[in-house]
Chains A and B, each alone.
Chain A
């Protein structure tokens, strides 16, 4: 099956700095990727998605970059806030519309 993994399990940033969370995937045929945020005691929350025909997509304070050559995905959070502290997962959509999740990165924002 697909393999989706993350480079760093934890990330600590100062409030106001930018955060970058990375993800590698192994299935070169994958065409849809999603970033989720999971706060303690809650289910994952959709942040942003990107299709394989795009290299970059921007949302509010978040940007996702896709490098298909090296099968790498990143999530950039601008001006990180304490409320951004959570575990972030990248996910890859499978053929049956199910999701294959990476291992997760815990982001801690230091006030």
Chain B
């Protein structure tokens, strides 16, 4: 299994600003993923961030809005840029280990 931590756990931000979310894993993993969970809804994949390659974004998500870094096998960041109230969500990172995928506790973002 993997233990995943995220910082911050929650934040309230003003529109037009940016927030960088950090994801730390207790073991080296190749595959990391970022998901968004809007209030009361399911999880939607934002991008796949494998170490050593550019992040791959899903339809509806672009690098300018959600830049991702993956400097090593235990860490990744997701930035939510030029935020609007529609970006208010829980952002979760996850890692793939063997066939399973483990999730961090999420970062609850509120944009005012």
Contact = CB atoms under 8 A, between A and B. Distances in A.
B48 A96 contact: yes
A101 to B, nearest CB: 4
Contacts, number: 51
A33 B105 CA distance: 22
Nearest to A97: B96
Contact of B45 (A45, A49, A99, A102): A99
Nearest to B42: A101
A98 B57 CA distance: 11
B101 A43 contact: no
Nearest to A43: B103
Interface of B: 4, 31, 33, 41-45, 48, 56, 58-59, 92, 94, 96, 99-106
